[in-house]
Amino acid sequence: MREDKEIREMLKEASKIRDRWLQILTDKSYSNQTEMRRAIRNYNALRGVIKSLRWTLNEPLAENPLY
């Protein structure tokens, strides 16, 4: 089982990467539909990762990751 400190580091890293993908989407710096789809897919996947990590840490407003 992982310690809270390690999970918090993973949460911080996932948030940074998610924010980079969001920046790509908002800047419209993608050059074609394939890149746009990739950015959306990665952004949404990381939202799920972050939701799951917060739930694992029992954060007060963490939602069940299955819904």
pTM: 0.86
- Whether 56 has a pLDDT exceeding 90, the answer reads yes
| Sequence-separated (6 or more) residues with CB below 8 Å from residue 2 | none
Let me know: does 37 contact 50? Beta carbons within 8 Å.
no
Better pLDDT: 41 or 60: 41
Amino acid in position 51: K
Q: What is the pLDDT of residues 23-37, one digit of tens each?
A: 988 887 666 788 889
Share above pLDDT 90 across residues of the chain, in percent, rounded to a whole number: 61
Better pLDDT: 65 or 6: 6
